[in-house]
A and B are shown apart, each in its own frame.
Chain A
Amino acid sequence: MEIIKTSDLTKNYTLGKVDVKALNGVDSSIEEGEFIAIMGPSGCGKSTFLNMIGMLDTPSSGEIYIDGRDVTEMNSSAMAEYRLKHIGFIFQFFNLFNELTAIENVMFPMMLNKQPNYKERAKELLDLVGLGDRLHHLPSELSGGQQQRVTIARSLANSPKILLADEPTGNLDTRSSVEIIELFRKLNLEQGQTIVMVTHSMEIGEKADRIIHFRDGKVMEG
């Protein structure tokens, strides 16, 4: 079943007097349970695309269907609600709340979603990402790879259908990167999460089910 579908998606930015076409008619289709890597040169619109399907930003034109719903029709509050319940985000950095410990970071989205037993579940999730012994550490007391794993645990808090990761390993060494990708694969296999991940590394991209290549704001055919 198709979980993400975009048709003729465009996003224009005006920088001074120059119009930038960050997305220039993106048609894409992602099946539920797919693990997708998005690749392409810098500035080709990968992040912009991810932000669109994650409802962090609104397109200039075109359609986005998530789980069969046209999300361009939603208001900002409905989008927030949808992100809370159905989408998990992992950025390259600055993901965590500095003043919250690992477990609190993971609890937070569950508290916002009025989920009971959030503490137990936060522990389970941190166990799952291999940080069961770092529950009460602040982000500043964790390594970059550990921080990304906390972020992944948090993104899973409300059992979202979709995980969106924008260069999640961009800041990590090879070993930590491999660990993260293995974790994604595990989540994908065991929990059926649909994962869309932007990466610059071919090595990592190859671990996905499928690579979508971007160039100049468009999906390259083939």
Chain B
Amino acid sequence: MSGVFFYARKDAENNKRMFIFITIAIALSTANIIILNGVMDGITDDFLDRTMETTSGHLNIYPNEKDRYIEGLGIKEQKLQGIEGVIAYSPRITAGGALSYKEKSRSVNIFALDPSKENRVTVLLSKIDSGETLKANDRDGILISYRLAEELNAKAGDETTIVFEKGNTRVFKVRGILRTGMAMDTNTVIINFETAAEQLNLNNKASIILIRLSDKALSGQYKDIVSGKLGMQKVKEWKEEVESMWSTIRTYKEIIATINAIGLFAAAVSVGVILYINIIHKQRQIGIMKAIGMKDFQILSVYIIEAAVLGTIGILMGDALGYMGIKYLQAHPFSDPTLGSIAPRLYSYLFYDASLVTMLIVILAAVYPALMAGRMNIIKAIWGN
């Protein structure tokens, strides 16, 4: 094989300029995969984390089939306290209603919660854009989402009125403006649990109970325990809650994959075409190689080895470029009005995957020209047609 390696090296050295071009194409394609997927992972991770930490517990208990509310809240809370591994829980009431400020009025989703409990489960109440958050036992305060605030032109300190489902009306003072980076920013208001229960005539009831476990990885195991002990049929894990988002994420991943494929295709074409041209150009020499006794397989190997070496160099460059790109974007993240800042992730799997896929494509692209070189007819190769 030493003769094969020897010739492959010489050939590559003598086509430096062409091969530098190939290497750059490979490097860019590899870096493209790493950076785009890193950014995508950043977006999905942030998105999932944010959704999780604001809207869901590790386990969420929903009302039984046909019930609108979870009944017997007090007893359920007691039972939850008795389950080891349940760190905290927060019951919420969700309801529809209308919010009016001055002459304007909007329909809203009302989240009613107990801040002292909620704060031990989610970070929802910390997502304040301006003003203050809702404090425990603040029965008159309200947080309104920033899009609502913009539409109604309301700000912290203003007095607003809520009309509840049952027709009750109550005045609330805006404590702060909420900004979560999620869909709930459109038309959500947050008020005190007790106040809502009173207005909606709900006694000892909740719409949902969010539960925090000592470790979110335990959700599967605790799902049945909680369900059994509380006699509730509908307990969902956090994973199930975000499941609906996966289809959106998958769509984005497909878009990214398409862009990557285009980059890879460009790299593959440049590898294939440049090797092909090089081989056509060198027909005579290939004929001579065969005449002096090189086997078809050895000639094929020359070009596969060249591609593999160029691939390796290009991929290493691409990995380095990808690493620097991700580091740069982590230091200078994109900013997005709803998601906040978007920074890519630096996962090692990205480097393995990108390197492996690129190498595979590069070798595949080299196969056709290499086969062509190996199978060339000696006489035709030396003397032309």
Q: What residues make up the interface of A, taking CB atoms closer than 8 Å to B?
A: 51, 54, 56-57, 76-77, 80-85, 87, 89, 91, 94-100, 104, 107-109, 111-114, 154-155, 158
Q: Given the known A-B contacts A91-B382, A99-B11, A111-B3, are A76 and B285 also in contact in the complex, defined by CB atoms under 8 Å?
A: no
Which A residue sits closest to B295, measured CB to CB?
Answer: A80
User: Is B2's CB under 8 angstroms from A111's CB?
Assistant: yes
User: Is B10's CB under 8 angstroms from A104's CB?
Assistant: yes
Q: Given the known A-B contacts A56-B379, A57-B379, A91-B382, are A98 and B294 also in contact in the complex, defined by CB atoms under 8 Å?
A: no
User: Is A112's CB under 8 angstroms from B10's CB?
Assistant: no
B7's partner among A83, A108, A158 (CB-CB below 8 A) is A108
Residues of B within 8 A of A99 (CB): 10-11, 13-14
B292's partner among A77, A94, A109, A114 (CB-CB below 8 A) is A109
Q: Tell me what chain B mostly uses at the interface: helix, strand, loop, or mixed.
A: helix
Q: Given the known A-B contacts A51-B379, A56-B378, A112-B298, are A80 and B293 also in contact in the complex, defined by CB atoms under 8 Å?
A: yes
Residues 3-23 of B contacting A (Cβ, < 8 Å): 3-4, 6-7, 10-11, 13-14
CA A84 to CA B4, docked complex, whole Å: 14
Residues of A within 8 A of B179 (CB): none
Distance (Å) between the CB of B182 and the closest chain A CB? Answer: 62
Residues of B within 8 A of A111 (CB): 2-3, 6
User: Is A154's CB under 8 angstroms from B6's CB?
Assistant: no
B345 beta carbon closer than 8 Å to chain A = no
Residues of A within 8 A of B245 (CB): none
Q: Given the known A-B contacts A56-B379, A91-B382, are A85 and B293 also in contact in the complex, defined by CB atoms under 8 Å?
A: yes
0 or 1 for each of B358-385: is its CB under 8 Å from A? (1 = yes): 0000000000000000000011001000
User: Is A56's CB under 8 angstroms from B291's CB?
Assistant: yes
Distance (Å) between the CB of B188 and the closest chain A CB? Answer: 71
Which A residue sits closest to B293, measured CB to CB?
Answer: A84
Residues of A within 8 A of B313 (CB): none
Which A residue sits closest to B288, measured CB to CB?
Answer: A95
CA A154 to CA B285, docked complex, whole Å: 14
User: Is A98's CB under 8 angstroms from B291's CB?
Assistant: no
A-B contact pairs, 12 of them (CB 8 A): A77-B296, A80-B290, A82-B293, A85-B293, A94-B288, A107-B6, A109-B293, A111-B6, A112-B298, A113-B3, A113-B293, A158-B293
